[in-house]
């Protein structure tokens, strides 16, 4: 991420870091630990601002001490996804960092998908449920969608109207949207809904797209 004060590099080392002292190499410096806490508080403040722009998780990579120091005091604790213990990750390129966190991201995504499908089952049982693009379009416009589930490969063309989606008679129709699903997702996010993408065929009996309603 760039912006919101990121990348947030720590300040220059304190002169005390250059003084080995009697316990050099055997125990952490209290000065260093306090500067780490101050630095991570600053990172957390910047992170809070950045997270206002989206709903995704934050996977934290670092040493166990760094991770614990950040998370235990974080204002953004509920947004923390997986924790990956790895020293020196700040020196990795973005591509290599993705490789490091890929297993954690895959684990997190699988857990989120399972939880979303469980919530969908509860919504069906409580009759707070919608399925199919047209029915969900109506509920999204009314701000009633709490959780939107969409199959990864689902795409459909339609003409959006105030309360309904009209099937496109021709791809050349000037009002047609090639992928109305993108609009549904963006609108749902704008109303505060959670959106989870699930594997293809997971929602086959619900028209490839389903929602749990707020009421």
Strand-pair category, 209-213 with 145-151: antiparallel
Q: How many C-beta atoms lie closer than 10 Å to residue 195's C-beta?
A: 17
For the entire predicted model, the pTM comes to: 0.77
Q: How many C-beta atoms lie closer than 10 Å to residue 211's C-beta?
A: 28
pLDDT band for 33, please (50, 70, 90 cuts).
Answer: confident
pLDDT band for 59, please (50, 70, 90 cuts).
Answer: very high
**In the numeric block, which tokens belong to residue 106?**
């895959």
Tens digit of each residue's pLDDT (9 = 90 or more) over 85-120: 999 998 899 899 999 999 999 999 999 999 999 999
Pick from 140, 147, 167, 170: nearest CA to 156: 167
| Residue matched to tokens 């609009």 | 183
d(CA 168, CA 69): 54
Tens digit of each residue's pLDDT (9 = 90 or more) over 136-175: 999 999 999 999 999 999 999 999 887 889 887 766 777 8
């Amino acid at each position: 991420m760039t912006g919101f004060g990121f990348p947030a590099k720590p300040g220059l080392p304190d002169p005390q870091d250059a003084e080995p002292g009697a316990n050099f190499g055997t125990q952490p410096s209290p000065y260093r630990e306090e500067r780490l806490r101050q630095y991570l508080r600053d990172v957390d403040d910047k992170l809070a601002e950045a997270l206002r722009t989206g709903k995704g998780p934050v996977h934290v990579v670092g040493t166990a001490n760094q991770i614990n120091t950040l998370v235990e005091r974080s204002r953004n604790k509920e947004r923390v996804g997986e924790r990956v213990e790895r020293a020196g990750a700040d020196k990795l390129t973005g591509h290599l960092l993705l490789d490091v966190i890929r297993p954690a991201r895959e684990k997190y995504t699988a857990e989120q998908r399972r939880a979303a499908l469980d919530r969908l089952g509860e919504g069906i049982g409580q009759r707070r449920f919608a399925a199919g693009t047209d029915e969900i379009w109506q509920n999204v416009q009314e701000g009633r969608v709490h959780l939107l589930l969409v199959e990864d490969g689902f795409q459909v063309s339609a003409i959006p109207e105030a309360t309904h989606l009209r099937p496109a008679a021709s791809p050349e129709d000037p009002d047609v949207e090639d992928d109305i699903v993108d609009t549904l997702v963006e609108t749902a996010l704008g109303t505060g809904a959670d959106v989870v993408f699930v594997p293809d065929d997971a929602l086959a009996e619900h028209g490839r797209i389903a929602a749990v309603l707020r009421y």
